[in-house]
Structure 1
Amino acid sequence: MRSSFVSLLLLAWSSSALSSSSCEGLLENRCNFICDCWSCSDERDCGYHRDSPVWGRPFSCDFEHDDCGWRDISTSDYRWVRDQRSSPLWTSRPHADHTLGNRWGWFMMAEGKSGKSAVSARLQSPVLRDAAATCEIHVHYHMSASDSPRVNGSLSLHLADRTQTLTLWESGQDSAQTWRRALVFTGRIPGDFQIILTASRDALSHGDFAVDDLEFRHCSLQGIT
């Protein structure tokens, strides 16, 4: 009797593992804001890391453990890196991350020495698929200059598909030693697309840019008719 019970458990486990493996192998199941696999493994490293099986609960990335699949695609020494609070405190870098609010928390930071020309650092998401018309992207960002009320540069968010790249949001240039939030509406996006965050600054700028706690809300087509 016990042997039969163990056999049934092994059969159930192997069936689930096979089902999950088959599910993950289907390209159309990857990064579409829907947990098609029982473990939601098809949504792993899609620019977010928390499972969100319920419509309305955001997929999010706080960068505490990894970069959630976001990748720096900059073409200069000015690049996005995963980082923590700097020392000393009088610099224009964040004094704490947004998630934990302390020096041990992690965020993404655009870093590089000032040169003789304007530079841009670009942070690209993995390939995402089929966003609903209700889709929102929430970005917490930090933009500060230690010696000026304005940053000679900006932070922007772009949507790229197979045919074009659109600017959906761009910050102002006001400097503030605090985290702020941007809310971006994408609209319905059929097929594959990527999100690109760009930090741009002039040659003479000493401002710093950071992002944390990225959230994708109401992006799933599940339950929408």
Structure 2
Amino acid sequence: MEAEDKSITCLENGKWEPAGCSIKDNVVIACDFEEQDQKNLCQWHSVGKARYSWTRHNGETGTWFTGPDADHSIGDYWGHYVYLEANAPAEHQDVAQFVLPSFTGNQEYCFQFWYHMYGSQIVYMSVYLQDLTTKVTTEMTRILGNQRNSWHQATFNITSDVVQNDFSIGIESERGLGTKGDYAIDDLIVTKGLCKGSQEH
């Protein structure tokens, strides 16, 4: 039996479709983190202290009762995602941003990604846009606390009503009081046009 094709470029109408689906032509940027050099291809970077930064990883994280068991794309040990490790040397209230620069303003986009927020000391995950001209930051959502041991999808429409100039997309999280607070994200995709659907598992 062939494995299910979960190419990030084929996330269409909230469902994984076979290779060659129509959304591929509208992809602006797509990151499933399976390739080592994808950091350059996706142009993402981590902002914050070196001791607490978004890092590519596979398999479980280093602490029980927090973090994913596997990535979202492939769903096994070999699949990759990026995450924030709450173990030392990270300290209470350290903050890190995952940043995707930059996108042309005054257009319609759909931004989708999968997030994992499992642990008793999870604080928040904030998704925001930063106008690269005015430096004004607009928060799209703030997810608080433990979201169970599963991947969840977040979907956002980005329009000229939200940001008119060129902008970056950021995902920010804060380290809590202890080590049971690993955050993870996977399968980020920005496409032209408004979003069509979402799902969760």
TM-score by length of 1: 0.64
Q: Deviations over 1:95-139 (max 9, x none)?
A: 111001111011111124356631211111122213523x22111
**In the alignment, is residue 173 of structure 1 matched against residue 169 of structure 2?**
no
Partners of 1:174 and 1:92 in 2: how far apart? Answer: 9
Map 1:1-225; keep pairs closer than 5 Å: 54-55=25-26, 59-65=29-35, 66-67=38-39, 68-75=42-49, 77-86=51-60, 90-113=64-87, 117-130=92-105, 132-133=107-108, 135-145=109-119, 148=120, 151-161=121-131, 162-163=133-134, 164-188=136-160, 189-204=163-178, 206-219=180-193
Retained in 2: the 8 A contact 1:168–1:186?
A: no
- Aligned residue type for 1:124: V
How far has the Cα of 1:64 moved from its partner?
Answer: 0.7
Partners of 1:106 and 1:181 in 2: how far apart? Answer: 17
Greater helix share, 1 or 2?
1
How far has the Cα of 1:89 moved from its partner?
Answer: 8.7
Partners of 2:84 and 2:156 in 1: how far apart? Answer: 21
How far has the Cα of 1:78 moved from its partner?
Answer: 1.2
- Cα gap change, 1:130 to 1:219, in 2 (>3 Å): farther
How far has the Cα of 1:187 moved from its partner?
Answer: 1.7
Larger Rg over CA atoms: 1
Retained in 1: the 8 A contact 2:95–2:173?
A: yes
Q: Deviations over 1:162-182 (max 9, x none)?
A: 210111111131331110011
Partners of 1:128 and 1:58 in 2: how far apart? Answer: 9
- Cα gap change, 1:102 to 1:192, in 2 (>3 Å): same
Q: Which has the higher contact order (CA 8 A, sep 6+)?
A: 2
- Cα gap change, 1:157 to 1:219, in 2 (>3 Å): same
Retained in 2: the 8 A contact 1:86–1:93?
A: yes
Q: Deviations over 1:134-174 (max 9, x none)?
A: x22111001111xx3xx440111110112101111111313
Q: Deviations over 1:172-219 (max 9, x none)?
A: 313311100111222224332101111113233621100000111334
Partners of 1:153 and 1:53 in 2: how far apart? Answer: 35
Q: Secondary structure at the match of 1:178?
A: coil
- Aligned residue type for 2:152: R
- Cα gap change, 1:100 to 1:89, in 2 (>3 Å): farther
Structure 1 unmatched ranges of 5 or more:
1-51, 221-225
Superposed CA RMSD in Å reads 2.7
- Cα gap change, 1:183 to 1:77, in 2 (>3 Å): same
Q: Secondary structure at the match of 1:123?
A: strand
- Cα gap change, 1:58 to 1:181, in 2 (>3 Å): farther
Partners of 2:61 and 2:166 in 1: how far apart? Answer: 41
TM-score by length of 2: 0.71
Structure 2 unmatched ranges of 5 or more:
1-22, 195-201
Q: Hey, what does 1:15 align to over in structure 2?
A: none
